[in-house]
Structure 1
């Protein structure tokens, strides 16, 4: 090889080396650096999450004396979407070691005391000042739950502020019930039975009851027609349902970090937040429209039976300190829509389910309706006096029903109370609860407790007859607390009970119904899982037949 050739080869090699070195310096090293940085970030994130889970799972020393459910078994059940009935045995095995009837369970705010025993429940309900409502879930509006409900309303407030909201709302729920409106909307709903899906042979009862009760609370409470029965796919109804689905999501409930700091990564969750904002706009429009109507009617003869929104708007006319702000009005609307809609619709669905699987009880209830109201193929709206005579139907509702925030018994649409907290060390049914601990009344668990109720899974309306099992249990404390108790007892109890008696009586008069042979609810009801306080049936269809 000549010297010239050697020089050319050397130059070529050096050029390639320089090219490789440049590529390495410009591309490989930065890539490796990024990878190391990403690895460090990923490792830090994993360590942070592990620490959070450890903190979440770790029982604080001050609560070690209270029996606790196994953390991983409980969380596995919740996050897998199992219904609350699947966790009953887990809880009862823990309660067997708790003479006071309290236990610990995981919650997004940390380990929470669940009150189940009759004396423990009575204490939590009656001594409201010792166990004030906690605002832990409703303060930070970066969370969907807080954004939907808010703090400044009859649900979240305590003390004098709560009393002001309660006093304003009271007259709306202690007037004559709008039973004719209930009847007209029930008739509208029944007309949909035969024309939706595959008709009477498979009625989506849960969906129709939700649509019915949404229209009821909209019209009776606020003078607003959602038109949910006739048009379930309208934007307002779909926005409402989207938000309610979001509130049941156990992932965001138990791991709020992701909603608080990583909402950008969850498109469906972002959409639920947008739908919540859309609902707020709807509520504000309802308020503004009602203001215009009241201004136009000013000076005319006063309506002795004002709806809830009118009463809230007129508060403060004589005393400005009692007036509600637009934020308070909007948040109260949100609370009353949920309370007057979801709980009652679920209650009616479960009542119809139990009547479907107990045809003898259905027939007994129908006989009472015919005796009080009469029989025939004509459309008939029960009167307030007539529904007050439906004693057996009232017992059926006590087995399956709820109103506003609390529940009745067998399939309680409300699983547990709103969070409460202790402001100092306090004794609950013989167990010391330290300061700063959250407490919930575990209504679903209490109403199925085999140490309190005989054959608790059996459907027996007679438990609530005079001298029956419920009266015996009342001597122990509050084994059954359908509407709470004490000063904060459910404000909407009479409204909901009247609404449900109208619906059940009209359906019993017109139809008989059974559970389809292929129903997933054959043998026992199947509940929707999740973290919501509300209990609902999963895909509940019933088969109806006209009696005439």
Structure 2
């Protein structure tokens, strides 16, 4: 009788046992067997890299190397020239370490994501020239960065991306951007007035931390130029996107760890709430825009996005998703990167007075009291060189990322489907073999003959706006916006770096001044 009941108990447990076996088999296949087969295909072609662990890949080693680098940095604090140091050694020390051990092409993993790290100029060139849709944006971006980027133009692939590019890119061509200069000048007026009053109230000299002012300016400029509204209308969106960006940056190393984004952690709950709030705010603006007869005739970027949501039909993207995700992409990429680059520009100009004076004299000589317009901006060669050098030393984006959506061959390597390809931009921008022994130094003169002259014959190694046919559609807007704000500031103030400035670049999805940029301003 006991044997009979024991058999019944085992029979009752049998489905659970089978389920556990199937679940383990699935997890083992997804998290180890498939990635290991992919790694083996690359290893057989001579691609090396650190040995991954189960589930977390190389994350434990990355954390260990970062901890060691932090200890070394604390010991050497104050003994090196921080302004010319390579901050990659602080933010991403594992990439430098692995590059020394494995060379300019190596394989590493974060969770189930297998990433081919590339700084080899020839392979970068081949990737830049590749027009195949088999090489697209990584699938993990829509999942792990979904709250911030969704299925917008920055993350989509195939027909959806082609449609989004067709809708958005023409609104950001230079002939359209030319007409936005006055709107950008208007957006800068409140900031300039505020600083002018601050300097006057403080007796002719005032310390101002510029970062939040620049974010407000950039947000207002983007709102006026692209969405037909002032900053006040979209202010809450920008604030929440900034909060979302900061929260997501804390989780960057754990991208690819299975299930991590579903856990009800404090960070995840904050991300979910912000995502819901941002979606509601954007849809409210879009609905108001559509029903407001006074703005419906404006053919700005928001109009194009709303129309584009109706013109295409894609299973992975509803009309609302099309509007929300592409607006989030523009709000984040257009606003945050321009503001961060402007802050770095001001820091470098404050630290190099000869270039500040040179850019100011050139502007005043060309402008001669006339209102700022596109023709004046076009002639500002010195300021253009300063911006280009700033983008080289402090590119706002950290990586160019792609995924082999099908088997593809690059640089003589057969890359299996599912492999991620990552180019660490700051490493490419500071490679002495491309930029010479002064690669870590601020030297805008290297761009005197343009980008091609700065790193000939490897112009593809300069990639602040990405590479290839996925290059940022908003780069014209960004460059004009930077020229507007910097030329206006140069024409009204002289500035030096505050003694309170602490040089510590930080990774918050973009590379930004970790403790802000305080400058001492004096009215000209």
What TM-score do the two structures reach when normalised by structure 2? 0.78
Unpaired segments ≥5 residues, structure 2: 1-26, 52-57, 71-86
Over alpha carbons, which structure has the higher Rg? Answer: 1
CA–CA distance in 2 between the matches of 1:393 and 1:74? 38
Q: Does 1:343 align with 2:322?
A: no
Residue 353 (structure 1) aligns with: 347
Residue 261 (structure 2) aligns with: 260
Structure 2 CA distance for partners of 1:181 and 1:361, relative to 1, 3 Å: same
Residue 535 (structure 1) aligns with: 511
Structure 1 contact 180–381 (Cα < 8 Å) conserved: no
Structure 1 contact 519–541 (Cα < 8 Å) conserved: yes
Superposed displacement of residue 237, structure 1: 4.2
Q: Deviations over 1:173-213 (max 9, x none)?
A: 12134111111211212233367899763322222212221
Q: Does 1:499 align with 2:481?
A: yes
Select the residue among 427, 430, 434 that pairs with 2:412: 430
Select the residue among 97, 122, 130 that pairs with 2:125: 122
Q: Deviations over 1:121-164 (max 9, x none)?
A: 12222213265224422444xx5x2122212x222222332222
Select the residue among 173, 181, 184 that pairs with 2:183: 181
Structure 2 contact 498–520 (Cα < 8 Å) conserved: no
| Structure holding more helix per residue | 2
Residue 202 (structure 1) aligns with: 207
Structure 2 CA distance for partners of 1:78 and 1:93, relative to 1, 3 Å: closer
Q: Identify the range of structure 1 (245-254 vs 70-79) with the bigger mean alpha-carbon deviation.
A: 70-79
CA–CA distance in 2 between the matches of 1:251 and 1:271? 15
Superposed displacement of residue 252, structure 1: 7.0
Structure 2 CA distance for partners of 1:470 and 1:107, relative to 1, 3 Å: farther
Residue 457 (structure 2) aligns with: 475
Structure 1 contact 77–87 (Cα < 8 Å) conserved: no
Residue 502 (structure 2) aligns with: 520
Q: Does 1:391 align with 2:391?
A: no
Structure 2 CA distance for partners of 1:483 and 1:106, relative to 1, 3 Å: same
Spell out the pairing of 1:359-370 with structure 2 (5 A cutoff). Answer: 359-370=353-364
Q: Deviations over 1:434-457 (max 9, x none)?
A: 332111232111001122211211
Structure 2 CA distance for partners of 1:364 and 1:77, relative to 1, 3 Å: farther
Structure 2 CA distance for partners of 1:289 and 1:108, relative to 1, 3 Å: farther
CA–CA distance in 2 between the matches of 1:516 and 1:56? 50
Superposed displacement of residue 260, structure 1: 3.3
Structure 1 contact 206–539 (Cα < 8 Å) conserved: no
Structure 1 contact 109–136 (Cα < 8 Å) conserved: no
Spell out the pairing of 1:18-417 with structure 2 (5 A cutoff). Answer: 60-64=39-43, 65-68=46-49, 71=58, 72-76=60-64, 84-86=88-90, 91-92=95-96, 94-95=98-99, 101-129=104-132, 131-140=134-143, 143=144, 145-151=145-151, 153-174=152-173, 175=176, 176-193=178-195, 201-227=206-232, 235-250=236-251, 253-254=254-255, 256-257=257-258, 259-263=260-264, 266-293=265-292, 295=293, 306-315=299-308, 325-374=319-368, 381-401=371-391, 409-417=392-400
What TM-score do the two structures reach when normalised by structure 1? 0.75
Structure 2 CA distance for partners of 1:354 and 1:430, relative to 1, 3 Å: same
Q: Identify the range of structure 1 (504-513 vs 155-164) with the bigger mean alpha-carbon deviation.
A: 155-164
Residue 406 (structure 1) aligns with: none
Residue 37 (structure 1) aligns with: none
Q: Deviations over 1:381-402 (max 9, x none)?
A: 511111111011111111113x
CA–CA distance in 1 between the matches of 2:281 and 2:402? 28
Structure 1 contact 366–508 (Cα < 8 Å) conserved: yes
CA–CA distance in 2 between the matches of 1:334 and 1:395? 30
Structure 2 contact 66–94 (Cα < 8 Å) conserved: no
Superposed displacement of residue 269, structure 1: 3.5
Residue 28 (structure 1) aligns with: none
CA–CA distance in 1 between the matches of 2:349 and 2:284? 40
Unpaired segments ≥5 residues, structure 1: 1-47, 402-408
Structure 2 contact 127–468 (Cα < 8 Å) conserved: no
Structure 1 contact 204–539 (Cα < 8 Å) conserved: no
Superposition RMSD on alpha carbons, in Å? 3.6
Structure 2 CA distance for partners of 1:277 and 1:399, relative to 1, 3 Å: same
Select the residue among 486, 492, 495 that pairs with 2:468: 486
Superposed displacement of residue 307, structure 1: 1.0
Select the residue among 375, 400, 404 that pairs with 1:421: 404
Residue 459 (structure 1) aligns with: 442
CA–CA distance in 1 between the matches of 2:191 and 2:241? 19
